[in-house]
Amino acid sequence: MGAIAFRAFCLFFLAGLLGSCAVVDQYGSRAYDGNLNTQNAINQEVLVNIIRASRYQAISWNPASQITGTQTEQLTTGLPTIFVPTSEPNTITNSLQSGVGGGFSTAPLATTAFQAGMLTPVDLKTLASLATYYPRDVVFFALIAAVDVKSVSSGRYARLINDPSAAYYNVDVPLGDLDQTRCSSELFQHPGPQVFFGPSQPADCSYEKFANLLGVLIYNGLYTELEQIPALQPAQAQANQSNIVTFGAFCFNKPFVPQRLLEIQGSSFPSCGQGRKVPAGGTVQVTTTQTNKFDDRVVNIDTKSKTKQTVTTTNSVLPITGKNFRVRFAGIGWVELNFELRSPNGFLSYLGSWYKVGREVSFVSKYYHSVPAQTIFNGGPYLAIRDGLPSSCYSWVNYDGGPYCVPKDATHTSMLMDIAVILRNLNISPADLNAPVSVRVTN
């Protein structure tokens, strides 16, 4: 009887010493890891799309719409193994349980709205918004696709294209030399109209002419700004200004513009911060009403006044302003300029062109005038994508049997990749992320 009581006492004592421990999920470090992994996936997606664009292959986006993860641990422990002096052994054991789980969901971006947005040129609002974070030099050279130039006096026209793969000295020999040395010597040794319209035809040295013109405009203060106007509202709601329309416009920053340009009479230089009242674009209907009254005629049976009303309706389109203005160049005179902006897919195609011909056409650092842009560019190249896998990569992919790497020190390239992601994100809606994928199965 004493042995049984002693054993019961020991078991009760040991039960009090036994315990269990559950670890609450500490997600801080895993959230950080998730951030790195998500950005790495985005970088790889952009990089592979640049390679595809260089080959005119289909561009595909497949972002993760939801990422989940859990981690649990539970420990049950006690004293080391103890043998109670009875006829049956008693053993205290330890137990550890843990688990980690994670998952993500994704759907290809293939809706009509998304595809249309990726093919639509960015607006000046997007251009001005990007310039609030990135250097304006970088944004302008990245998203301005071309400039249409027309001489006011002679009527001569040239289209200057921002595409390094079309930077030929002679466009009649499209597979000729892309070296810009001859273009530079021709343009700068013989200044005058041929800066836009020469040396032999306007299409020759198109890229060199574009880069030179945009560099001159940036140096002389070409900026973008965001402006706001009240949205068109019914008369009874005019007092409510909560609905504000924001739009972007090109302008020239006065501290950078030479004084002689500001004093030109008739110049269409829009100065920044003027608070201009310009239409944001759209359609307006103008209605004209005309009323004719006939005097009463006593000889008629009907002695009442007659009213004749004529209504004329005219529809007119308000232009989207800010992309057209005139500049006066020495030796050339007044020149009308019209900017054409790229679409998000066009920007990827532009980067693909740099990947193809970046070894033959170099981006001249003098076209970047701001200190941040020059610091980020740091001698170039404009786009740094290497074939193979160096020791250190910012991002790398293995596509179509070949490895491609963006070096870690290629800050200019990583910035351009980030701009591509922002342009993509601006065209994504919740409906795009949740759109089901149709699969057709045939025998």
Give the model confidence (pLDDT) of 260-296 as tens digits. 655 544 456 677 877 555 544 445 455 555 555 555 4
pLDDT tens figures, 117-174: 999 999 999 999 999 999 999 999 999 999 999 988 888 898 999 999 888 877 777 6
- Across 330-353, b (16+ Cβ under 10 Å) vs e yields eebebbebebebbbbbbbbbbbbb
Does one domain contain both 41 and 9? yes
Task: Output 402 or 197, whichever has higher pLDDT.
Answer: 402
pLDDT score at 242: 57
Residue 429: pLDDT above 70? yes
The domain total for the chain is 2
Q: Quick check: is 40 in a domain?
A: yes
Contact indicator for 209, 187 with CB cutoff of 8 Å: yes
Domain span at residue 269 reads 114-276+320-430
CA angle (65, 69, 70) in 5-degree steps: 155
Mean pLDDT comparison of 7-16, 294-303, 345-354, highest-scoring range: 345-354
Token pair 């947005």 is found at 117
Does one domain contain both 246 and 332? yes
Q: Tell me the average pLDDT across 38-66.
A: 90
Task: Output 178 or 55, whichever has higher pLDDT.
Answer: 55
Chosen domain end from 71, 106, 141: 106
pLDDT score at 319: 44
* 322 backbone dihedrals φ, ψ, rounded to 5°: 110, -10
Does one domain contain both 157 and 255? yes
Q: Quick check: is 307 in a domain?
A: no
pLDDT score at 162: 94
Does one domain contain both 79 and 128? no
Chosen domain end from 50, 83, 106: 106
* DSSP SS3 for 285: strand
Does one domain contain both 38 and 160? no
Structure tokens at 407: 């070096």
Q: What one-character-per-residue DSSP string does 305-363 give? A: -EEEEEEEEEEEEEP--SSEEEEEETTTEEEEEEEEEPPHHHHHHHHHHHHHHTTTS--
Q: Lowest-confidence range among 91-105, 243-257, 395-409?
A: 91-105
Task: Output 252 or 356, whichever has higher pLDDT.
Answer: 356
User: pLDDT above 90 covers what percent of the chain?
Assistant: 30
Using CA of residue 36, residue 42, residue 45, residue 47, what is the dihedral sign?
A: negative
Does one domain contain both 239 and 90? no
Residue 223: pLDDT above 80? yes
pLDDT score at 385: 94
Does one domain contain both 172 and 264? yes
Does one domain contain both 83 and 208? no
pLDDT score at 116: 93
pLDDT tens figures, 79-103: 555 555 655 555 556 666 666 666 7
Residue 238: pLDDT above 50? no
Please, what is the end-to-end C-alpha distance for the chain in angstroms? 80
- Quickly count: other Cβ atoms within 10 Å of residue 211's Cβ: 23
Structure tokens at 49: 């799309």
- Do the strands 19-23 and 282-294 form a parallel or antiparallel pair, or are they unpaired? unpaired
95: nearest Cα among 20, 152, 45: 20
Q: Quick check: is 306 in a domain?
A: no
Q: Quick check: is 77 in a domain?
A: yes
Does one domain contain both 221 and 83? no
Which ranges in 199-258 belong to alpha helices (H)?
Answer: 206-219
Helix or strand (DSSP H, E) at 98: strand 95-106
Contact indicator for 39, 59 with CB cutoff of 8 Å: no
Q: Quick check: is 312 in a domain?
A: no
Chosen domain end from 77, 106, 135: 106
Residue 27: pLDDT above 90? no
How far is residue 388's CA from residue 356's CA, in Å, rounded to a whole number? 15
Q: How confident is the model at residue 316 (pLDDT cuts 50, 70, 90)?
A: very low
Contact indicator for 160, 166 with CB cutoff of 8 Å: no
Q: Can you state the percent helix, strand and coil of the chain, rounding each to 5? A: 35, 25, 40
Q: Quick check: is 295 in a domain?
A: no
Does one domain contain both 226 and 85? no
CA angle (318, 321, 322) in 5-degree steps: 180
- Quickly count: other Cβ atoms within 10 Å of residue 33's Cβ: 12
pLDDT tens figures, 167-222: 887 777 766 677 777 787 777 776 677 788 876 777 788 888 899 899 988 988 88
Contact indicator for 326, 334 with CB cutoff of 8 Å: yes
The upper half-sphere exposure of residue 272, i.e. CA atoms within 13 Å in the direction of its Cβ, equals 17
Q: Quick check: is 292 in a domain?
A: no
pLDDT score at 24: 58
pLDDT score at 321: 45
pLDDT tens figures, 325-378: 788 887 788 888 999 999 999 999 999 999 998 888 889 888 898 899 999 998
Does one domain contain both 158 and 101? no
pTM summary value: 0.76
Q: Quick check: is 167 in a domain?
A: yes
Quick one: DSSP state of residue 272? T
Does one domain contain both 368 and 403? yes
For residue 241, what are the contacts with CB-CB under 8 A and spacing of at least 6? 230
